[in-house]
Amino acid sequence: MSIPNFIKNIFLLLLIYPQISFCQVKQNQPYNVLFIAVDDLRTELNCYGATHIKSPNIDRLANNGVKFTNAHVQQAICMASRASIMSGIRPEKRGIYTGESVTDVLPNVLTINKFFEQNGYNIASSGKIYHYPEDTKEQFGNTYINPTATWKGKGYVTKESLEIFKKFKEGPAYEAADVHDTIYPDGINTLNAMRKLEVLKKENKPFFMAVGLLKPHLPFNAPKKYWDMYPESSIKLSELTERPENSSKYTLRVKGELTNYPGMPGSFKEIPDSTAINLRRGYYASVSYIDAQVGNLLNKLEELGLRENTIVVLWGDHGYKLGDYGSWCKWSNMNIDTNIPFIFNVPNGVKGETYTHPVEALDIYPTLAQLCQLKQPTHIEGKSLVSILKNPKKEPKTKAYAYSVWPDERWNYEKTVMGYSVTDDQYNYVEWVQLKTGEVVERELYDHKKDPKETKNVIADGQYRNVISELAGKVKLKKEATDHHHNFKNVKSN
């Protein structure tokens, strides 16, 4: 056979069998999956345009795959976001939006890790994948690697922090200890995952290895060397000091969990600039700390010869506000909270590409299933991104949307006001709906082309009448699909 005919036959094979993805013609082994979850990671990364952030390893991941800049979680809070991603079900279903455990709200669902296990994969996890310990135990059992703690509480190691922890049962909001990476949880969890990769390589089965990095979630604790990357004089305060103009009382919360830490101002008290600078510096240090752990994982894959047969996906469970709009938490439908870093690396796939149209974190499950040539479960609600991963430059045939919800008073159905958000290439539209009655009590619209930081709600501007009509139609479908008959309506009464 001549070389031209050989090439022609390969091309015909790809046409006849479109499900064969990337290098599957050359390889007979199924793909492995390295599944990296990062807590509270906003898109303030060098590869996302934030040149003041030192994130060379996540940048490396982006340079070797496809980076999604308009990716959104379906609820900007750890519990519900992760439950939705891992189950493949939107949080307005089955009471997921209340933030209760997967074990409680979804006892019989086939989660992504169980799906891979059911399909013959070895599974393992290290760090935070599910929010609740009972879910980790139920989902991973003895394949979860429990670290030996060298810290107290949420990761305190210095004498000063331990004294505060002993007195208040909670440590400070940030800490910089001159210690090795593995003295803090993310370092030891990453080391344990690297050791597990060595074991998995020796077994004659594909694997699904889930690694959950806790930082940059509060408290902002990281080894001193990462703090040293960000001199105090280099830290700038947020330029977004005010709530969005014309925003509703449901739009934002103020300080959230930050108020739980000793020395932090209460919910409606101003945070001094010096404290805000230290908090932002600690967040940046934590980002560089987890970036180093991502680098360790990538290096280990290469060292073990696994890189060319392992899909790597990195995702954040939601964004975070660092004084933006006067707020220090997530918990909203604002773009700063729903928009996440989202990167896919596929062996022999396209490299260094960026996709700017909306996608959802919910899409991870079906995408991994198709990449690994496994039959997708019928219950999952996301869409596969494989065609995008093959050709990110191709415009979508139909307009894309991403959906998110935020429930005010989520534990008391009698009072719950659900914020339904839909994002397209230009707008973020939100309807706040009294769940019990269906009454729309507030609406918001943000024009990202004119106002990318969402500083003004333009819902009353007549020029957007057609846009509002279109997006309200999309939200209507999500409202109609919401489950009202679940067992978690009155978890807490206020």
Q: Which positions are catalytic?
A: 78, 131
CA angle 411, 339, 226 (to 5 degrees): 100
Instruction: Let me know: does 411 contact 391? Beta carbons within 8 Å.
Output: no
| Token digits of residue 457 | 């709600």
Q: Are 103 and 119 in contact (CB under 8 A)?
A: no
| Cα dist from 494 to 339, 414, 457, 486, 490, whole Å | 30, 10, 29, 19, 9
How far apart are the C-alpha atoms of 207 and 301, rounded to whole Å?
13
Find the Cα–Cα–Cα–Cα dihedral 333, 335, 340, 341, rounded to 10°: 180
* Alpha carbons 147 and 141: distance in angstroms, whole number: 14
Q: If we measure between CA atoms, which residue out of 159, 215, 167, 164 comes closest to residue 42? A: 215
What type of residue is 238?
S
Task: Decide: residue 41, CB within 10 A, 0-12 exposed, 13-18 middle, 19+ buried.
Answer: buried
